[in-house]
Amino acid sequence: MSISFGVSPIAWINDDMPELGGNTPVETVLADARDIGFAGIELGGKFPRDPAALKSLLGSYDLDLIGGWYSSSLLTRSTEDEIQAMQEHLSLLQALGSSVFIIAETSNAIHGNRAVALADSPALTASDWGQFGERMTAVGDYLGSQGFRLAYHHHLGTAVENADELDLFLQHTGPSVGLTLDSGHAALGGIDPVRVINDHPTRIAHVHCKDVRRPVFDRLMERNGSFLDGVLDGMFTSPGDGDLDFSALIQALSAIGYSGWVVIEAEQDPEEADPRDYSRLGLDTLRREARAAGLKEAA
């Protein structure tokens, strides 16, 4: 059992806000990720979608494709329609040898809209959860048949944002539905990631590690700002630079025998926060914690 450290390109190029690093060449991102010491990288919006071209590009930098965000709309369309809609994304991941399918429900999400306050995040009614969970489980079952583990990403500004919502999500979905446990979204959403790991060890399919600057988040909520306002303000940062202690989280992963990717991800303005410096800090921080917890890093 071992872990591999990867990185998200969002620190270099923010797909939700092209003004943040939008002119940065993909080759720069890949070269930096390789030189810092990452084994893999998640899919970015500017990455080629032709499987052969992407495989050749990543291979030239000795990086694996970990997976990539997929936006589902299971609140508004059937399981069958969703499975059909994801085929292009799925085929790309299959061709590149990925095994994790990161997904989040975005049919009613507000995290990409600067005109909507984060306080106005969507909330499902009691009657919504049953159908939503049933459809997500069916998607998870299908992805399992294709060699993938569904890794649902709880996220600020979406229907699965806080601890109660995550508990309801887990209650209404089956074992084929795993989680992308995100330390930053957990902390700011009122979710204890260690409790989630301890209570639902078999659901932990993927891990995102970002740090938070809680005073920045508190000021954002006081002025009724949006999620993207918070990103611009700097509410997220890399592990080792913010308010979170990653020791307990990494120890909890070690205790359940977690084996898979740990991805460093921190969306900031690259003009204000050099992605190379912050990503290197994050990797150094997590490697130190992994060694202390007895988590072996894949060769």
pLDDT digits (tens, 9 = 90+) for 167-196: 999 999 999 999 999 999 999 999 999 999
CA distances from 224 to 76, 214, 220, 237 (A): 28, 15, 6, 21
* DSSP one-letter code for 298: P
Backbone torsions φ then ψ of 83, nearest 5 degrees: -60, -40
Cα distances from 92 to residues 3, 78, 150, 170, 254, in angstroms, run: 23, 23, 15, 28, 31
pTM for the full predicted model: 0.97
- pLDDT, residue 206, reads 98
**Confidence class for position 150, pLDDT limits 50, 70, 90:** very high
Taking alpha carbons only, the member of 43, 54, 40 closest to residue 9 is 43
When the pLDDT of each residue in the chain is averaged and rounded to a whole number, the result is: 97
pLDDT above 90 for 201: yes
Please report the DSSP string for 229-263 in residue order.
Answer: HHHHHT-EE-TTSSS---HHHHHHHHHTT--EEEE
Per-residue confidence band for 125, with pLDDT thresholds at 50, 70 and 90 = very high
pLDDT exceeds cutoff 80 at 1:
no
Average pLDDT over residues 143-158: 98
DSSP SS3 for 65: strand
Residue 299 reports pLDDT greater than 90? no
pLDDT at 52 (0 to 100): 98
Residue of 96, 82, 85, 197 lying closest to 147 (CA atoms): 96
pLDDT (average), residues 206-227: 98
Judge whether residue 249 has pLDDT over 90: yes
- Lateral strand order in the sheet of 70-72: 64-65, 40-41, 3-7, 260-264, 204-209, 177-182, 149-153, 100-105, 70-72
Q: Model confidence at 291, in pLDDT bands (50, 70, 90)?
A: very high
Confidence of residue 2 (pLDDT cuts 50, 70, 90): very high
Beta-ladder partners of 148: none
Looking at the domain 3-293, which fold is it?
TIM Barrel (3.20.20)
13 C-beta neighbours (distance < 10 Å), count: 25
Q: Is the C-alpha dihedral spanning 166, 197, 82, 109 positive or negative?
A: positive
Side chain identity, residue 104:
A
Cβ-based burial of 1 (10 A; exposed 0-12, middle 13-18, buried ≥19):
exposed
What digits encode the pLDDT tens for the residues 54-75?
A: 999 999 999 999 999 999 999 9
Between strands 100-105 and 149-153, the pairing is: parallel
Asked whether the CA dihedral 31, 94, 10, 205 is positive or negative, the reply is negative
The pair of structure tokens assigned to 210 is: 């970002």
